[in-house]
Amino acid sequence: MKQRFILTSDRKHKDAVESVSNLEPEPVMEVIIQPYVEKRTVLQNAALHKGFTLLAESLNDAGYEMKSVLSVKEVDIPWTDVSIKEVLFRPIMVAMLDKHSTTELSTKEISEVWLVLTRHLGEHFGIDVPFPSNEPPMI
């Protein structure tokens, strides 16, 4: 049995307290209380992946390709949404936040990592792709 309460009202707070108070002594249960952090929305996740695609297209259109070594030969490889995520976005995310999956990111953290990534691409390659979303930026 797993229960999760997000305490957004007095009623939900009372329900959570009542639920914990009614727990049987066996089996032993673990109760964790932590601040609620809003995870990325479905719309934000879709926008993030659209952004990866737009960045890949922009880098490819500007003539910047990934370098990969295949059997001691360096090969130019076009960028894809997956390579943007794995080669550019994820390393920045891990360095900034010590999180290894985009599913762990809050709505604000996605914006923070995106800004660092696009600032770098703008400064070094002249590539500027704003975050593709109808939602306002979180920071």
Q: Report pLDDT digits (tens) over 84-127.
A: 999 999 999 999 999 999 999 998 999 999 999 999 999 999 99
C-alpha 105/C-alpha 31 separation (Å) is: 23
pLDDT of residue 137: 52
pLDDT band at 35 (very low <50, low <70, confident <90, very high): confident
- Assigned domain for 7 exists: no
- Region 69-97: mean pLDDT is 90
Residue type, 41: T
- Assigned domain for 11 exists: no
The pTM for the full model equals 0.66
Would you call 108 helix, strand, or coil by DSSP? Answer: helix
pLDDT of residue 134: 62
- Assigned domain for 61 exists: yes
Write out the E strands in the chain.
Answer: 66-70, 73-77
- Assigned domain for 2 exists: no
Indicate if the pLDDT at residue 79 is higher than 90. yes
- Assigned domain for 31 exists: no
C-alpha 134/C-alpha 67 separation (Å) is: 34
- Assigned domain for 49 exists: yes
pLDDT of residue 128: 92
Indicate if the pLDDT at residue 47 is higher than 80. yes
Provide the domain count of the chain: 1
- Assigned domain for 17 exists: no
pLDDT band at 27 (very low <50, low <70, confident <90, very high): confident
- Assigned domain for 133 exists: no
Q: In this structure, how many other beta carbons lie within 10 angstroms of the beta carbon of residue 9?
A: 9
C-alpha 66/C-alpha 44 separation (Å) is: 26
pLDDT of residue 117: 96
- Region 70-92: mean pLDDT is 90
Burial label for 72, CB within 10 Å (0-12, 13-18, 19+), is: exposed
Give the domain range for residue 105. 42-125
